[in-house]
Amino acid sequence: IELYTSEGCSSCPPADAWLGKLRDKPGLWTQFVPVQFHVDYWDGLGWKDPLATREFTAREHAYASAWGGQSVYTPCFVRNGVEWRPQWGTVGGPAALTGILALESDDGGAWRVSFTPGPAARSSPDGLYEVHIARLGGGIYSKVTAGENGGSTLEHEFVVLGVTSKVLSAGAAGGALHADLDLPRPLAVRRARRAIAAWITPHRELEPVQAAGGWLP
């Protein structure tokens, strides 16, 4: 579950709060993996979102282009690569994903990733898959002093503070695909909780075929 949001948008705090409540829901990390991307196209309204990056804005634009849309908006939910409106009951994406994704780390910084595609897993034309790993922050508080949310203190969960990606390499015939990569340097913000999220996509595509995540010490 992806949420595209901005501290400069007055419509976003309820969506942020809804995503934050998933922290206490059964199935977190095993049945669903929530991530929150902050975009920067509302920064001109008087408040510059400290969690927003151009990279995250470009990601939402890429989704909009894939859907045949002409514009982007916040708050925007994406489930399994499909535009989703949970409050209106839109299904949004397939009910089941395929493949086994596993991540291991000795120090929390360098990670070993393995992915075994299921028989029905969709792949790219070149047959390759990519892994994407994100640092997440929770318990992030922001005192907004200007713009549409001026005077509010906003709380965020599952905020993406950095993403890195790598193409998976083949191992033994019929075995798991694998990759070794380091977590990206996070945005410099205070956070009470740390987590990691990872998802597999066909090469150069956005729609995930499997995802996993978990809390970090």
pLDDT at position 91 is: 46
CB 117, CB 98: distance < 8 Å: yes
pLDDT at position 174 is: 64
pLDDT at position 122 is: 83
Phi, psi for 120 (deg, rounded to 5)? -105, 10
Whether the CA torsion 9, 1, 121, 105 is positive or negative: it is positive
Residues of the chain with pLDDT under 50: 91
Chain position carrying tokens 């360098």 = 110
Whether the CA torsion 65, 66, 68, 74 is positive or negative: it is negative
- Token duo for residue 85: 């409106």
- Token duo for residue 112: 């070993």
Read off the pTM: 0.93
